[in-house]
Amino acid sequence: METVTLNNGVQMPVLGFGVYQIEPKDTQAAVEAALAAGYRHIDTAAGYGNEGQVGAAIKASGIARDDLFVTTKLWIQHAPTGNVQEDSKRSFHNSLNRLGLDYLDLYLIHQPIGDVYSEWRALQEVNTQGLARAIGVSNFHMDRLVDLIDHNQIVPAVNQIETHPFYQRAADQAFMAEHGVQIESWGPFAEGRNNLFTDPLLSGIAAEHGVSVAQVVLRWLIQRGVVVIPKSGRPERMAENFDVFGFQLSEAQMEQIATLDTGASLFFDHRDPAMVSRLGSHRSN
């Protein structure tokens, strides 16, 4: 498996398995199938409600802990104790316990909402203690990211953001690279929106290589240096998504795919006041 080196020297696999929107009752079987297919990088979150099932799958697999890269995320803290930093550390340990692990490879602030500075201080603590090998953020636009960088000791290792052929984030990726932050894609297939799987351009490139559109998209992201975590509940699709290292897109094909960029989210805007309020009202353990 190819890896990228994070800003603290930690090696992160470029391809992982995501469990967003997989029902808890289906998660253990899905993760077990992904691990059997060869995945060693698993991405979950407290907000997904399936950390326990991910942990059960890891335990059942018998795979050595050192061979795995496990990510989970801190949901927006509402400070019942009045101390967001302490509540964030408590949430971290709750996630660690649900996963049944002694440490995490990557821990992320899930949303750029609320007292992210107290949350980040908590993440810095667990990182310094060796409980999280790397720490980062998710869904941060560049103004929020640089503000966090400028006012804290540790630079986020990763920013996990919506990235796919219709919202390519090239300028954001360049900015993050300048600051030592690794871009990671969520929603690499745009959940099939804009008819991604039947797009004529992507379908034509897929036919040239004898692969699927999904494989072309993952290969395109990986060649750009983007870490990617596709999700599927079907073992045959998991295997297909994992099989993206046996072909190479040409420079011309990469440039063709670049023309699909609309420059806008297909899901939601973290700068939309209604969306911020909606996310901020959601509670998670």
The C-alpha atoms of residue 162 and residue 140 are separated, in whole angstroms, by 10
Token digits of residue 79: 């400070």
* Buried residues in 51-61 as b, exposed as e (16+ CB within 10 A): bbbbbbbbeeb
Active site positions, annotated: 48
User: Which residue type is seen at 145?
Assistant: L
Other C-beta atoms closer than 10 Å to the C-beta of 214 total 21
Beta bridge partners of 167: 164
The C-alpha atoms of residue 97 and residue 88 are separated, in whole angstroms, by 14
Query: What are the distances in angstroms from CA 14 to CA 27, 52, 225, 245?
Result: 22, 24, 8, 11
Q: Identify whether the C-beta of residue 140 lies closer than 8 Å to the C-beta of residue 148.
A: yes
User: Which residue type is seen at 180?
Assistant: G
Token digits of residue 251: 């420079």
Beta pairing, strands 69-74 & 106-109: parallel
Q: Which of 107, 105, 106 has the alpha carbon at shortest distance from 91?
A: 107
Q: In which residue are the tokens 């203690």 written?
A: 129
Residue 135 is inside which H or E element, if any? strand 135-138
The C-alpha atoms of residue 145 and residue 137 are separated, in whole angstroms, by 8
DSSP secondary structure code for residue 67 in this structure: G
φ and ψ at residue 175, rounded to 5 degrees: -65, -45
